[in-house]
């Protein structure tokens, strides 16, 4: 992929105007929602949607989520049964995605749903995202703005570290508030099926519907976003039974020392003028 210049947009009227112009021209704009930052493109433009998959290195069989400004807009693209309508009215705008039958002649690129007859839809809760979507006037396909399989970004700096040079612009509005991907439900089943846990706790949904959520069956290919076996994986090295932390690494167990080992470790660190790790509690 040939690197491109990635702009940083400000969360004001000029920034929104620039973002909408890029979307309409078939470009990619990262924008913040209450959950994580999303990598957005015009969902009706197949070439633009294909750029999402290329920028992320995402497999084409993994569906994307449509983001729209409100429930009225969502009903232009998908069929809502009574349960889906109740859930949308209760939890939209918010961190809930519903997988619904795609309406015929919706105008949505088939790449968005990976060729499935359904589409994943949500209405983000942040005022900035709502303003951007309303100004665009259509649906934006937007998975998390990270390289495929890595942890979803909650700041613009996270996005730049993975996608700078691959996308047209990043709308920087600080850290997201929820910091976790949206919860995904299939409301076609009775009770609805939890396809992916996320920012809206299952307990709250269960209280609303008055029943436990169903669990998904085993499928060979994902029928909604977030179902791949390797998803949101950290890239840090994993260390077991370590004796001292190491920057940039995950660790499990270890860090227990005798008093003699702890004192020797501290003397060694002082002699090198390095930061001292406090001894672990027994």
What is residue 246's predicted lDDT score, i.e. its pLDDT?
Answer: 63
Distance, CA of 87 to chain centre:
20
pLDDT at 217: 74
* Model pLDDT for residues 59-75, shown as the tens digit of each residue: 999 999 999 999 999 99
Q: What's the pLDDT band for 277 if we cut at 50, 70, 90?
A: very low
Q: How confident is the model at residue 2 (pLDDT cuts 50, 70, 90)?
A: confident
The answer to whether residues 108 and 168 belong to one domain is: yes
Query: Quick check: 269 pLDDT over 60?
Result: no
Residues 74 and 194 in one domain: yes
Q: Are both 15 and 125 inside the same structural domain? A: yes
Lowest mean pLDDT among 45-49, 187-191, 198-202, 274-278: 274-278
Rounded Cα distance between 65 and 85, Å, is 18
Averaged pLDDT of the chain: 86
Is residue 140 within 8 Å of 120, Cβ to Cβ? no
Q: How far apart (Å, rounded) are the C-alpha atoms in residues 205 and 98?
A: 12
CATH of the domain at 204: 3.90.870.10
* pLDDT reading at 258 higher than 80: no
Residue 279 lies inside a defined structural domain of this protein: no
The yes-or-no verdict on residue 230 having pLDDT over 90 is no
In this prediction, residues 108-133 reach a mean pLDDT of: 97
Whether residue 94 contacts residue 125, with contact meaning beta carbons closer than 8 Å, is answered with yes
Instruction: Write out pLDDT tens, residues 44-59.
Output: 999 999 999 999 999 9
Final residue before a domain boundary, out of 190, 209, 228? 209
Instruction: Report if residue 19 sits inside a domain.
Output: yes
Instruction: List C-alpha distances in Å: 87 to 25, 125, 247, 255.
Output: 34, 15, 43, 47
Confidence band, pLDDT 50/70/90 cuts, at residue 13: very high
Final residue belonging to a domain, choices 157, 190, 209: 209
Q: Is residue 84 part of a domain?
A: yes
- Is the domain of 188 the same as that of 254? no
278 pLDDT higher than 90 = no
Residue numbers of the domain that contains 245: 237-272
Examine residue 214 and state whether it is found in any structural domain, yes or no: no
The structural domain count of the chain equals: 2
Both 71 and 157 in a single domain? Answer: yes
In a domain, 252, yes or no: yes
Q: Is residue 231 part of a domain?
A: no
Asked whether the predicted pLDDT for residue 248 surpasses 80, the reply is no
3-state class (DSSP) for residue 191: coil
């Amino acid at each position: 992929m040939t690197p491109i210049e990635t702009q940083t947009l400000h969360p004001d009227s000029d920034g929104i105007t620039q973002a909408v112009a890029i979307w309409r021209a078939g470009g990619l704009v990262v924008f913040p929602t209450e959950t994580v930052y999303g990598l957005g493109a015009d969902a009706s433009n197949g070439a633009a949607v294909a750029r999402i998959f290329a920028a992320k290195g995402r497999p084409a069989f993994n569906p994307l989520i449509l983001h729209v400004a409100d429930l009225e807009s969502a009903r232009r693209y998908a069929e809502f049964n009574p349960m889906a309508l109740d859930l949308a009215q209760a939890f939209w705008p918010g961190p809930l995605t519903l997988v619904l039958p795609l309406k015929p002649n919706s105008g949505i690129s088939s790449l968005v749903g990976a060729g499935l007859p359904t589409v994943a839809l949500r209405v983000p809760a942040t005022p900035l995202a709502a303003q951007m979507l309303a100004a665009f006037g259509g649906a934006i396909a937007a998975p998390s703005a990270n390289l495929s399989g890595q942890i979803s970004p909650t700041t613009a700096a996270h996005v730049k570290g993975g996608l700078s040079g691959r996308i047209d612009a990043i709308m920087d509005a600080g850290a997201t508030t929820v910091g976790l991907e949206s919860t995904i439900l299939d409301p076609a089943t009775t009770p609805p099926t939890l396809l992916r846990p996320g920012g809206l706790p299952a307990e709250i949904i269960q209280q609303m519907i008055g029943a436990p959520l169903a669990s998904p069956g085993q499928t060979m290919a994902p029928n909604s976003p977030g179902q791949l076996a390797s998803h949101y994986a950290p890239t840090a090295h994993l260390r077991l039974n370590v004796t001292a932390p190491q920057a940039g690494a995950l660790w499990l167990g270890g860090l227990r020392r005798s008093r003699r080992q702890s004192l020797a470790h501290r003397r060694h660190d002082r002699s090198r003028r390095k930061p001292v790790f406090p001894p672990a509690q027994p």
